[in-house]
Structure 1
């Protein structure tokens, strides 16, 4: 098999921001050649004080109407927040609006405080994983547009159907997480992509054999050091926003250093690099990364073919 072209996504958790600001970042990511743009799916900012957090599905719909080519998704969607039939309708509708650009990221919901705070009866971790398994089965049935019955432990549907169907023949499914018992079996059975969360990157080689045929994407906290920047100041700013206890080792350096780092990550099997930048991804950072990291890595992959 020929090496696939590496892909790059920008992750912008919509914390303390406005829809206009997120849309502007998405446009800049598209203009500079990034492949995908991702937001979070939470009702609030976990671990943060009360700040504005625009709702993710409405936000992505606005981004879809303001862009034309970049792919869009959640990193990852919190499955307990929607009934699977509603989730299927939302996904198919957004895929229609975006003209086939949705990547459907899903997880079983790891922030238990969120469910307690907002009164969502999501059950135990194992129950949430079981619910996600049923959700994935129901999504597949809904996406056919044909009538079906479904009898599960947590969900029952009778003579149901999902119309309209998505624009894409298949909406790619990304399942995020790093748990060998509850998450990886779902990845192997249902996912097109396994999204290795940032905190599990150090265990990627151990977990990767459990993913089945799913391709690997991974999350990275990135501090891109511009000419004239103090690397230690960049590192400190990144760690304030993305502590290593949650995000794993910080990825900080000049373009040259980051190119070497992501070349190594590609050798580990990562095909989609999803980046959360320390400076909220302004256009100057996206432009520098695209020109001096993403483009050379893509060229190197093309030369291997």
Structure 2
């Protein structure tokens, strides 16, 4: 069994557009939805982007079944005590549907621009471990914040460096492999311990009535820089592709549509690709 989550970067569209995509995903067999966490749109800083936790809360309130999360929250943006409180609040408000996705921060220039320091990658990973330790303390024990979680909050860590994989082994329930490194899944999987593996994948979905060459060409113009992180195909081709990743050990897919998640693409993908995988 695999899980299917819709990845929707909350940029270049309105809040109502995000809700529509999440609700379409929920009606089409997706198991969850995830957002990104940046203060400006990567590679397009002039494009508006909505704040990550607020967006997730708003969408959680307008869905009933979907798990809600992020790929991934940026550790430097939030003090651990605040993050712990936010996570518990959203987990309880959503009926336990929140997954806490965390990363050490992937854009040093953004961190410096908005006053979050100039730490090296090694220093940011070390700080992330301190956050993980603090979260455990805030959620349990004599000195824990109140209220404590009524059920465990699943923790997902993203990244592929040796130190990050060590944190995955020690602390995480899920590990996410970024789209650009999808071909490394078999090599990295033994390093994650008991954590479950998820894969982020950009999809140029060619619908029933679409011109395949046109969809593929447009997808590659927009997202070709992702290399193997972009896959284009019709439903039968994508079924075979994701079956191979499942057989390699992936247990969750974060689907990132090359057409920015047009509702019709989400619905047809659910009806054809997701429906081909047994629950």
TM-score under structure 2 normalisation? 0.96
| Pair 1:143-2:139 in alignment | yes
Q: 2:67 aligns with which of 60, 65, 71?
A: 71
Match of 2:213 among 232, 240, 252: 232
Instruction: State the shift of 1:109 in Å.
Output: 0.6
Deviations 1:129-153 (A, max 9, x none): 0010110111111112631xxxxxx
Aligned pairs (5 A) from 1:266-277: 266-277=246-257
Change (3 A) 1:164 1:239: farther
Give the CA deviation at 1:182: 2.5
Q: Which consecutive residues of structure 2, in runs of 5 or more, have no partner in the other structure?
A: none
Residue 237 of structure 2 is aligned to residue 257 of structure 1: yes
TM-score, normalising length: structure 1: 0.88
Q: CA deviation at 1:123?
A: 1.1
Aligned pair 1:175/2:169, yes or no? no
SS of equivalent residue, structure 1 residue 123: coil
Q: CA deviation at 1:50?
A: 0.8
- Does residue 114 (structure 1) correspond to residue 110 (structure 2)? The answer is yes
Please, which moves more after superposition, 289-298 or 105-114?
Answer: 289-298
CA distance in 1, matches of 2:64, 2:142: 30
Specify every segment of 5 or more residues in structure 1 that has no aligned partner in the other structure, as ranges: 148-160, 300-305
Number of the residue aligned with 1:283:
263
* Contact persistence 1:12–1:39 (CA under 8 A): yes
2:227 and 2:173 map into 1 onto residues whose CA distance is 23
The answer on 1:162 being equivalent to 2:145 is: yes
For 1:7, which of 3, 17, 40 is the aligned residue? 3
1:189 aligns with 2:185: no
Distance 1:84 1:122, change over 3 A: farther
User: Is 1:200 the counterpart of 2:181 in the alignment?
Assistant: yes
Q: Which residue of 2 aligns with 1:56?
A: 52
Aligned length: 279
Instruction: Check whether the contact 1:80–1:122 (CA below 8 A) recurs between aligned residues.
Output: no
Question: Separation in 1 of the partners of 2:81 and 2:227?
Answer: 32
Q: Is the 8 A contact 1:18 1:52 kept in 2?
A: no
Q: Provide Cα deviations, 1:31-52, integer angstroms capped at 9, x if missing partner.
A: 1120010000110111114111
SS at match of 1:275: strand
> Judging changes above 3 Å, is the alpha-carbon distance between structure 1 residues 192 and 248 closer, same or farther for their aligned structure 2 residues?
same
- Mapped pair 1:222 → 2:203: yes
Is 1:211 paired with 2:192?
Answer: yes
Change (3 A) 1:289 1:139: same
Structure 1 equivalent of residue 97 of structure 2: 101
Say which is worse superposed, 278-287 or 182-191, in terms of deviation: 278-287
CA contact (8 A) 2:9 2:35 kept: yes
**In 1, distance between residues paired with 2:227 and 2:57?**
28
Q: Deviations over 1:239-286 (max 9, x none)?
A: 343333x46342111001100111111100001011001112222212
Instruction: Tell me the C-alpha RMSD between the 2 structures.
Output: 1.4
Secondary structure at 1:69 match in 2: coil
- Conserved 8 A contact 2:25-2:270: no
